Chains A and B, each alone.
Chain A
């Protein structure tokens, strides 16, 4: 088992705003349901690209904890 740990430092260099703007633009004009589907596709794609299940699971837990009510 690796010591893999989710990196929450900022890693997008000078492109953070580009990524955020692209995300918002992708949702433009979508219904709530379509937006949720878009987010699902994105998450799955990025999780696969990461290729490290331990990190993906840590991110899931951390993001989930932020939503509360377990």
Chain B
């Protein structure tokens, strides 16, 4: 059975009855990025209005590949267990050149992480789960479907949005507007902002087919496959017997001709043989690797594809957008609640532009490798591929997509100078690593599930002095005893000590988005308070 798209009815908002809303945060676009942002803000007690011009979840699978870091973020938001249960977990990739397998890789993650390296799950499921989750916060999330943003007026302290609905227009005021409205962002257009960067002339035909087959849960990539002459192809398995097939089209291809089912069918038959299949979705994608010069424009902030776009190899679009949310939500919430100076928002620009540039660089290089432009580039690629079968080094030069890894925020404004007393572990700016723990009741659990949305001091061996009101979690080797009122967890398999270079008496200051802000071999409440002030910008306020 095909995915059944639920329709969300238009609900007449109070604004149309003469009762205008002033939203702390107005989110435009109910895709994965906008929905995740609404949920993250709600978890921090911040209200949002979410506008979407449609009335259902994504048509077509679109973003399908969700990375471990994204699943960790989604776990904090409360949807990861549904995603992992439904998704296809995969870790093996095979690379073919012409008719031969050149090599394969196994992303087998080191043990002791709650989430797998990657799952494949259609975007419509992710949106469905996020909408269900958003419904858990009826007081905080105001979801408005069939509500189209048509104009914005900007002021120093907020925006006024003009919203078009089936029952008329209304104006809505908001302190902040976050544009999560995708690659063809209305907000970007209204502000007259353009992207900088490269558009590749190459196009890919992206199709989902429904087919009963015993193909393994692996990523298969072909350079110059026998079934699609001269081009590249990718096959990925999704839940519900759906397979994603990406086929590179030459620069001369006419997308309108190529997307006709009678032209798509023979290509798919060439891949899957005589197995019966149904075509579920066809789309033509032009490569772009570009971004806005800045993501913050006064009280208007861009996140996800409205801010930056990448080619699809490397799973960096959807994952990049969710990492934007992870970075943005706690900052917006802290500003909205006057816990931080408004200047904190500038660090969203700083940190996520670094992330976007990393994603753009990697995806642009993968795209270049797939689409050599000169004779010499073709020769280098041909020889790298030919050598890959026998020479191990050449395999690492072959580029069929560098899969999304979390971005390091080291040496950026919010992070304190590293303490040189640590050997290894996680430097300031690193995302926290997961590890198994045993709580004071003797239950096995996960470290990242204990780092939920606020500043946390992670101390080793024994509790340390922390500033008033700051939470602390102490990692101990033996059974966790919390009788004295301090929260302790046991390092179940010794992996926390290993991953954090945990010296007894040392402590990490973790940001609300599970990144290391500072660490100290000999922590004091004062040093920790200074590091927190540095993040919240209150010193300067």
Contacts and interface: CB of A to CB of B under 8 A. Distances in A.
Which DSSP category, helix, strand, loop or mixed, fits chain A's interface? helix
A27 B374 contact: yes
B310 to A, nearest CB: 15
Given A9-B392, A17-B402, A66-B386, A24 B397 contact: no
A8 interface: yes
Contact of B377 (A8, A10, A11, A24): A24
Interface string B371-402: 00011110010011011000111011101001
B368 interface: yes
Nearest to A21: B365
A10 B375 contact: no
B376 A20 contact: no
A32 interface: yes
A12 B380 contact: no
B396 A16 contact: yes
A35 interface: yes
B362 interface: yes
Interface residues of B, number: 21
Contact of A11 (B375, B386, B393, B402): B393
B5 to A, nearest CB: 39
B314 to A, nearest CB: 11
Contact of A24 (B368, B386, B391, B392): B368
B391 A8 contact: yes
A20 B399 contact: yes
Contacts of B384: 20
Contacts of A10: 392-393, 395-396
A38 to B, nearest CB: 9
A11 B397 CA distance: 11
Contacts of B393: 8-12
A28 B373 CA distance: 9
A9 B393 CA distance: 5
A13 to B, nearest CB: 10
A28 B391 CA distance: 26
The 5 closest A-B pairs by CB, nearest first: A10-B396, A27-B376, A10-B393, A35-B376, A8-B391
30 contacts: A8-B392, A8-B393, A9-B392, A9-B393, A10-B392, A10-B393, A10-B396, A11-B393, A12-B396, A16-B397, A17-B362, A17-B365, A17-B397, A17-B399, A17-B402, A20-B365, A20-B369, A20-B380, A20-B397, A23-B380, A24-B368, A24-B376, A24-B377, A27-B374, A27-B376, A27-B377, A28-B374, A32-B376, A35-B375, A66-B386
